[in-house]
Structure 1
Amino acid sequence: MAEEDPKPLTYIPEVILKKRKVNELAALRRKEQLELRKLNSKKNKDGFIKLPEEFVREYRARELDFVKMKHRIKRKRTALVPSKSKLIFIIRIQGKNDMHPKTRTLLYKLGLSRVFSGVFAKANEHILGKLQRVEPYVTYGYPNLKNVRELVHKKGFAKIDKQRVPLTDNNIIEQELGKHGILCMEDIVHEIANVGPHFREVISFLWPFELEKPGSGLQGKKSLYKEGGDAGNREDDINELIDAMN
């Protein structure tokens, strides 16, 4: 059997070789940047790796938060809602550096997983109990119709299959809430503002409102609003804060 002629070597143009080299260098740089980000994530604001004392300090702060939460539970509750209002709007105003895990869990159950997120809730003793536990981290009050409407129209998103979906089409609303007679944005506004019979279904349908950091109105204080701080019940004054964050 005759020997086959050797196959000629495949010629690779120089421009392709240069491109390969550039891609390899880019991949190497990306890997170095990733390693650098991982290293920086272990550092604090001053650029130093956390010392054991700092971990101890954070642990003690979280435990202190838990003790304070238990004290707030024992404290005599003040009246939450005047007879004129059945609706409250709750805004998370603090982070989680010194927060006990149980406090964080309660905030998540309220739908407040992020700082400057907000939710509507029905004003009753049940919600008061939750708010009392997380009081330093939230502020709340009685939104007026204007702010209910503007929040829904400006910041309203649907929660469908755990996804954040913009409310750009009334068909989305009709598909999810049509069986309750809620067909459009104004129906949602009406149901929330009046705490209607399908209030719970509407709130479950809406994604928590993601608000803007206000230029003014918050001082970074965990003390109560009525004592000169940021937290707790603002009653009708919540509308000024909503205006600044919407």
Structure 2
Amino acid sequence: MEDEETKPLPYVRETVLKKRKTNEDWAVKRRERLGARKNRGKENSKFAIKRPEEFVKEYRDKELDLVRMKHRLKLRRLPADNIRSKLLFVIRIHGSKDMHPMTRKILNKLRLRQILTGVFVKANEATLKMLVSVEPFITYGYPNLKSVRELIFKKGCGKIDKERIPLTNNDVIEQALGKFGVICLEDIMHEIATVGSHFKEVASFLSPFKLKCPEGRLRMKKKPYKNGGDSGNREDQINELIDKLN
């Protein structure tokens, strides 16, 4: 039987080859045009002149964000005793549009400076107050052991000298957290999952997890999850979202 590697290549007409080459050149030029158009749009947006009514609307939207924040804090009392788990995973799902500076300050304190970043936090009164304050811009819930493991092993990065370092070497972990008895990825996972005595140090060492946007555009509603939206506490259902974004 003739070896497949010795078989001659199939004959392709010259017109077909030329057409392929033309299509490839056209595709390259089209990508270049689209890229140039996108860059021009970004540059033009930097110098776009806002109308006075746009400034007024932007100011009113930000003030409305502050009013709603105060309203939520006044109506909702969330003592830590009512929380089913000490561990929460928080994901930022909205940008800074219509955001009051106070909201941005709280999100920065939670280390959620970008959309689709997530952090592990300990459920206590102070943390719950912050989460309620910025609820339209985040979603959170109780991560299970599988979610904790996959997040840390797949996307875990440590922060050393303000740089993100992938956790591919246990020497890096031991150097940063060895004094707390944490010397490997399994130790980090255990400390996070059990909300151990050194949870704060380990959670601070972990950089915010950068989650991926699923296929198609991610459309998250600021309406509370319990009312058919996407923001706020989704309890155990957070694990489905983590699977989708991990």
What's the TM-score bracket when you normalise by the shorter of the two chains?
0.7 to 0.9
TM-score, normalised via structure 1 length: 0.79
User: 1:205 and 1:52, CA in 2 relative to 1: closer, same or farther beyond 3 A?
Assistant: same
Shift of 1:52: 2.2
TM-score, normalised via structure 2 length: 0.79
Q: Which has the larger displacement, 212-221 or 63-72?
A: 212-221
Shift of 1:218: 6.0
CA displacement 1:63-117 (0-9 Å, x = unmatched) = 1101111111111324666565210000001100110011000000001000111
1:165 alignment partner, SS class: strand
| Alignment size in residue pairs | 209
CA displacement 1:144-202 (0-9 Å, x = unmatched) = 00010100011111111111111121000000101111111011000000000000010
Q: Which amino acid aligns with 1:240?
A: E
Q: Which residue is equivalent to 2:193?
A: 193
Q: Which residue is equivalent to 2:139?
A: 139
2:244 alignment partner, SS class: helix
Q: Which residue is equivalent to 1:40?
A: 44
> Superposition pairs for residues 26-175 of structure 1, below 5 Å?
39-42=43-46, 49-78=49-78, 84-175=84-175
Q: Which residue is equivalent to 2:205?
A: 205
Task: Give the aligned CA root-mean-square deviation in angstroms.
Answer: 2.3
User: 1:128 and 1:42, CA in 2 relative to 1: closer, same or farther beyond 3 A?
Assistant: same
- Kept after mapping to 1: 8 A contact 2:144/2:239: yes
Q: Which amino acid aligns with 1:228?
A: G
- Kept after mapping to 2: 8 A contact 1:42/1:50: no
Flag the structure with higher helix content: 2
Calculate percent identity across the aligned residue pairs.
Answer: 60
- Kept after mapping to 2: 8 A contact 1:225/1:233: yes
- Kept after mapping to 1: 8 A contact 2:135/2:231: yes
User: 1:176 and 1:39, CA in 2 relative to 1: closer, same or farther beyond 3 A?
Assistant: closer
Q: Which amino acid aligns with 1:126?
A: A
Distance 2:104 2:126 in 1: 18
2:201 alignment partner, SS class: helix
Shift of 1:42: 2.5
User: 1:76 and 1:99, CA in 2 relative to 1: closer, same or farther beyond 3 A?
Assistant: same
Q: Which residue is equivalent to 2:236?
A: 236
- Kept after mapping to 1: 8 A contact 2:143/2:239: yes
Q: Which residue is equivalent to 1:221?
A: 221
Q: Which amino acid aligns with 1:202?
A: V
1:188 alignment partner, SS class: helix
Distance 2:180 2:78 in 1: 35
Distance 1:112 1:43 in 2: 28
Rg: which structure is higher? 1
Shift of 1:214: 3.2
Shift of 1:37: 7.3
Q: Which amino acid aligns with 2:138?
A: V
Unaligned runs of 5+ in 1: 1-32
Distance 1:106 1:213 in 2: 24
1:222 alignment partner, SS class: coil
- Kept after mapping to 1: 8 A contact 2:78/2:125: no
